[in-house]
Structure 1
């Protein structure tokens, strides 16, 4: 079988199928996928429990108050103020001496004693801010009501005339923003995982084939570009399968627990994130393949593979900068600079700072950059994949004939 008889597409498919079959049978793929599925499902359940716990209202404890000399209006005002401020109280009547005795014997927490118009609050320890606000606010409210009654003003009519209504036009957009951010951040995490796992796998596979001389046998039947393309596509499809399984598990878990409702815009964000993943993977996988072709041993790969790894890491995590600093000018610039756009575009769409139409330009620019990366990597791979000896630099690899 030769490249001329099978055709370029068939040759690439043959190499990709070989990579897929080889990697699906590895223990690393099976164990890694199972572990990530467990993390996705367990993490979704744990997050839902945390959110439910934080969102469930807690019942405030009621404070026992002993009163001496308070009027019925003052007691009612203090009780109503406590309920409104979230510091409920129960008031019982007693004499001044008995009120102090209850505090001394810890049968009550607070005593409010009125003697000839002067109000004294008696307790064994410092009062909380909420309880202080309840007592002071209640007494002031009672004084205001008495003054209004003396002026023949109906307190209820005055309250109704000065009432302020606060309404939200629609609560759904705020929820959708949160859900879009969650989807974009999950996509960012999965993209990081895929590039950091699949990218080095491409370079390692290239180096292993060079060191074992298998590449010489393969290049007898296929061209270097076809070999590189098949390897990238095969490993990429395995990584995509893994991401689909993990993403589906996380999605089913979060929908089942009520964390996500999958609004239309959130699905659009997921689609943009998927496009970014494909372009980002192709961009960096090509560079990883080129880096692997420039060395003959795994031990010598650090100098060529590490710069690509760091470049990928910084590019992907630029999306985190956008989340923390969404309004900066740098966030807008990163949207248009490949490959930073693969993470910043979905995040900015999730934050509502970029429309789907506005994402077309950066996506097309990233596609062009990906094509350029593949062309450069193919040139390096073609020149250096059969090279044996000490590692060569990127500049020399580009100049080789």
Structure 2
């Protein structure tokens, strides 16, 4: 009885997982990948914690207030009040530096209160105690402009970094295997479509791993800095971002692998992958420049290549109806299936063709 070949002993699932393991292992052994990932995660954690503590530091001016003065200040905002029994105790806290100033009842003062400070008048506190007219905002939503801008940058940067890095990795891996003719050995044991699927799945696992760790960092950072209100507002959009990114990345990864298979030299990669790189960069710039434009965000949320950024941003801003992310996701998944089918045909028709760049019409031919 003849011994079966390697290709006949491997099922399609085994072949796909074998390639995926190879992709994951080679990436995890790369010092450049590990270092860049560590820098990204540490930077994200530092930004979240710094932002949280910066917000908490703005909770109010620390002041000591006597019991009889506390009732007068009950409606005054911007104060971190430490209530004390008498004036002597308040002065002691000021002298020790535990508070910036003290507020006590003073019958001789025109307003009935006196402010006690150490060496100079606390101008910020005096402004907070001043009587100011009522302020009416014609556009109260504009107060969240800065926060919306930061969230837009966050979604845009994460999508751009992960998609471009792993998309580029897939493209380089495909061309390297063609250039060294390793691919000829691989497809003698593994079907071409299984090789493509393994590459896409392996890099998707790595990319999603980064996304989930970043999401966990955001949750932990906001929790330890007591930013529960912001966490509640970001929780849903972050979860939707992870779901949209999964299918969006599979779409892009399939096309990156297909585009790279059309060339045989590293220096030619750009000629086929540049359009895809532009598609990855476009959502980043659009969400930053138009994050407060409902029309642009609405269009972005239904275009498959920008939906992973546009729809979570609209959810954060509260502009999307409950059914819109489901419809957008359905469009993305349908486009993803079509991209996989087209990418697989290009990959299969181009992988073994060496030399000059394969024309798109030839790569799509049956």
TM superposition score normalised by structure 2? 0.72
Who is 2:95 aligned against? none
- Whether 2:50 is the aligned partner of 1:46: answer yes
Q: Distance in 1 between matches of 2:193 and 2:239?
A: 29
* Structure index of larger Rg: 1
Query: CA contact under 8 A between 2:314 and 2:320: conserved in structure 1?
Result: yes
Which residue matches 1:338? 304
2:189 is paired with a residue whose SS is: coil
Residue from 205, 210, 219 that aligns with 1:237: 205
Inter-partner Cα distance in structure 2 for 1:308 and 1:269: 25
The question of whether the paired residues in 1 share the 8 Å contact of 2:254 and 2:343 is answered with yes
User: How many pairs are equivalent?
Assistant: 304
Task: Map 1:59-208 to 2 at 5 A.
Answer: 76=110, 88=126, 186-208=154-176
- Separation in structure 1 between the aligned mates of residue 214 and residue 329 of structure 2, nearest angstrom: 25
Kept after mapping to 2: 8 A contact 1:180/1:269 = no
**Residue from 193, 197, 214 that aligns with 1:246:** 214
Stretch deviating more after TM superposition (197-206 or 315-324): 315-324
Q: Distance in 2 between matches of 1:181 and 1:307?
A: 27
**Is residue 37–residue 246 contact of structure 1 (8 Å, CA) maintained in 2?**
yes
Deviations 1:72-121 (A, max 9, x none): xxx948x99xxxx98959xxxxxxxxxxxxxxxxxxxxxxxxxxxxxxxx
The answer for the alignment partner of 1:375 in structure 2 is: 341
Give the match for residue 108 of structure 1. Answer: none
- CA deviation profile, 1:233-290 (whole Å, cap 9, x unmatched): 1112122223333332333122211234576663322221111110110111111101
- Residue 34 of structure 2 aligns to a residue in which SS? helix
Shift of 1:36: 1.6
Q: In 2, Cα distance between the equivalents of 1:303 and 1:197?
A: 17
- TM-score between the two structures when normalised by the length of structure 1: 0.66
Sort the Cα spacing of 1:264 and 1:355 in 2 relative to 1 into closer, same or farther, 3 A. farther
CA contact 1:336–1:365 (8 Å) conserved in 2: yes
Is the aligned partner of 1:8 residue 2:25? no
Distance 1:14 1:175, change over 3 A: farther
Could you say what secondary structure the match of 1:301 adopts?
Answer: helix
The structural deviation recorded for 1:177 is 11
Match of 1:398 in 2: 364
| TM-superposed deviation, 1:197 | 0.7
1:299 match: 267
Structure 2 CA distance for aligned equivalents of residues 356 and 176 of structure 1 = 22
Point out where structure 1 has 5 or more consecutive residues left out of the alignment.
Answer: 61-74, 90-129, 138-162, 167-172
The answer for the alignment partner of 1:152 in structure 2 is: none
Distance in 1 separating the partners of 2:157 and 2:213: 14
User: What CA RMSD, in Å, does the superposition of the two structures yield over aligned residues?
Assistant: 3.7
C-alpha displacement at 1:43, in angstroms?
1.6
User: Aligned residue for 1:31?
Assistant: 35
> Residue 323 of structure 1 is aligned with which of 284, 291, 301?
291
Alpha-carbon distance in 1 for matches of 2:155, 2:195: 29
Where does residue 361 of structure 1 map in the other structure? 327
Is the 1:177–1:352 Cα contact (8 Å) retained in structure 2?
A: no
Residues 42 and 33 of structure 1: CA distance in aligned 2, closer, same or farther (over 3 Å) = same
